[in-house]
Structure formats: C-alpha cells, structure tokens
Amino acid sequence: MAKIFTTNKNHFLEQIQYITSPLGIYLIKKLFIQLLNMSEVKVEIQTVKKMEKVAIKESGLDFIRLGFALFFMVAVLTYSFMSTGGLPNNVFLAIAALFGAYMAMNIGANDVANNVGPAVGSKALTMGGAIVIAAIFEASGALIAGGDVVKTIKKGIIDIGAFGGNVDPFIWAMMSALLAAALWLNFATMIKAPVSTTHSIVGGVMGAGIAAAGFSIVAWGTMGKIAASWVISPVLGGIIAALFMFSIKKTIVFKKDKVASATKWVPVFVAIMSWAFVTYLTLKGLKKIWPSIVDVLMFLPDTKKPSFIVAAIFGLIVAAIVYVILKKTVAKKQQLLKIAEPG
C-alpha cells in the first residue's frame, strides 16, 4: 500500500513538473486558445441561426407584399377592362389603368413616405396611424383640389392639337409618360432617394410629347413656370419652416415654464395652420360648387368662384373655432400634467 502511494505521489510530482515546464505552459495556452475559438464558433453559429430566422421572416413578409401588389394590379386591370367593355380602345384604357396602379404604389412608397416621414420620425404618429391618415387625406386632396393639376398635366405641358385629332398617338404618349414616371419612382425608392411625383410625371409627359411630335409640341412657358416652382417651393418652404421654428423656440422651447408657454401658443400655431388650409381648400375645392353655395348662403357675393377675401374670411372663422376648442383641450392637459408633477 505504501509502495502504491509512493508511486502515485511520484507520478503526480512528475505531472506537476511537466505542467510547470515551458512546454507544458505552451500546451496549456494552446488548449485555452482552442477552447476560446470553440466558444467563438458556437457564438457565431448561434448568430448565424438568428440571422437565418430573421431572413426567413423578412422574406416571408416580402412575398406577402409582392403578392398583395400583384393582386392589386390584376384587380385594377380586370375591373378597368370589364367596366369599359363598350368603349373604343378599351384595351388601351385597361393597360393605362394597370400603369396607373403601378404608379399609385410607387407614389405610396416614395411620395407619401416623404409626407409622413417627419410625423413618424418625431414620434408624433405611429407608422400605422400615419399610413391611415395619409390614405384618407391624400385621396381627399386629389378629389377636392387636384383638378387644376390634372388639367395642367393633361393639356398644359404639351399641345394636344399637335396630334391633329389622332387619338392613338396621344394615348400612347400619355401611357409612356405614366410608365416612365412609375419606373423612375420605383428606381428612386429602391435606392432610398426621396423624389417628387409631380416632377416625374411632368418630365415624362414632356419627353413623351417630344418623342411623338417634336420640341414644338411643348408649352415652354408653362414648363418655365413649373421649373421655377421647383426652385421657389423648397426655398419658400425652408424660409417658412425656419420662421415657425424660430417662433416655437422663442415662445415655448426657451421659456422656463414650457408647459404654460405651450398652453398659450400651441393653439395659436394650429389656428394659423387651419386658416391657411381652409383658405386653400375654399379657393381650390369649392369653386366647382360655388354657385350652389351662393344660392343657399344669400349673403355671399354672387360670383362664379370664391375670391381670396371670402376664402380668407372662411379660414379665419374656422381658425377661431379651432383655437377655442384646442385652447380648452390643452388647458385640460395642462391640469393633468400639474397633478402628475411630484411634490
């Protein structure tokens, strides 16, 4: 028994001496590095598996979106073809409707995204809420105040008379413009570039008209005004935004009691916005039915369309109502905030 113990003791001492030797230390280091590498490999495998799950989930959502888009386009094509069966060139109309559906989806992906981006980015609205609001009011804006823009696109950029009464070349030109604008919007969306739908379709109509009947078909005066607006609009928009931002900082942000300042000035800013919006809607949206409104409201001036003064008065009335309602609403919110304050 003592012999066995002595042998084991000697063997253990030999192992200790071997481990503490330079070779043993080197081998332990190598083994430790291999263990670390194995743990890193396990972590990488887990990361790859997580990435695979995310990729599979996202690819499934992409297929759902693609399927919905194809279904929407096929439904528009079918409805257009069936509803225009008795009309000449109904095939052209159905194809144009298909291009319009494609264009509409690209407008939603790029142009509408430009509009809702600030609201979602500032967390004033959720993505779902912003999409619902955009769907309602984009459609409402097109129906109420989009007539003048449609008129300009239809016959203000190119001279329809240059086609000599031949309808087919004009149809092809407009279809080409619609498809070109839709393809450009699709490409711009793919590279995450915010662009203007209006600029796209104006350029498409002008290019298609030049290809169909030459440079003389273009109404260069109208194109000059449109091109000038492309420069003036962002400049004016930037100036107005800067003025509002400066006003908000001076009246709310830099004040010691921000809640009290917001209670005082937020209704004012919203009322100003309401005045501008209602004035614009009165000028653009009510001019088609203005004679009927004059027949009902006898105190209004008997004109074919509302003047700016009348529209501004309508806007002021609505702005005053908005101010009173919002003032009460904000005051109630202020009381809740004071109750929630500690101490």
Indicate if 23 and 60 belong to the same structural domain: yes
Indicate if 204 and 142 belong to the same structural domain: yes
Share of the chain above pLDDT 70, in %: 79
Indicate if 103 and 208 belong to the same structural domain: yes
**3-state secondary structure (DSSP) of residue 1:** coil
* pLDDT higher than threshold 90 for residue 320: yes
Indicate if 237 and 277 belong to the same structural domain: no
- Please count the other Cβ atoms lying within 10 Å of the Cβ belonging to residue 133: 14
pLDDT at 52: 58
Indicate if 99 and 214 belong to the same structural domain: yes
The contacts of residue 279 (CB under 8 Å, 6+ apart) are 308, 311, 312, 314, 315
Indicate if 15 and 127 belong to the same structural domain: no
Indicate if 91 and 134 belong to the same structural domain: yes
CA-based Rg of the chain, rounded to a whole angstrom?
34
Indicate if 64 and 169 belong to the same structural domain: no
Summarize pLDDT for 72-97 with one digit per residue, the tens. 888 888 888 888 767 777 778 888 88
Indicate if 79 and 166 belong to the same structural domain: no
Place of tokens 């009947």: 213
- Domain boundary residue, one of 83, 114, 142: 83
Q: For the chain, what is the domain count? A: 4
* Cβ pair 303, 290 in contact under 8 A: yes
Q: How far apart are CA 33 and CA 314, in angstroms?
A: 79
According to DSSP, the residues that pair with 218 across neighbouring strands are 158
Indicate if 94 and 208 belong to the same structural domain: yes
Q: Which of 60-64, 120-124, 169-173 has the least mean pLDDT?
A: 60-64
* pLDDT higher than threshold 70 for residue 250: yes
> What is the mean predicted confidence (pLDDT) over 220-227?
87
* Cβ pair 98, 76 in contact under 8 A: yes
Structural domain harbouring 235: 220-247
Indicate if 174 and 231 belong to the same structural domain: no
Q: How far apart are CA 274 and CA 280, in angstroms?
A: 10
Indicate if 136 and 230 belong to the same structural domain: no
pLDDT at 323: 93
Per-residue confidence band for 5, with pLDDT thresholds at 50, 70 and 90: very low
Q: How far apart are CA 303 and CA 180, in angstroms?
A: 41
* pLDDT higher than threshold 50 for residue 27: yes
Q: How far apart are CA 111 and CA 184, in angstroms?
A: 12
Per-residue confidence band for 134, with pLDDT thresholds at 50, 70 and 90: confident
- Domain boundary residue, one of 210, 228, 247: 247
- Domain boundary residue, one of 83, 115, 130: 83
Q: Which two tokens stand for residue 334?
A: 């202020």
* pLDDT higher than threshold 50 for residue 2: no
Summarize pLDDT for 270-317 with one digit per residue, the tens. 999 999 989 988 888 777 777 888 778 777 777 888 888 988 999 999
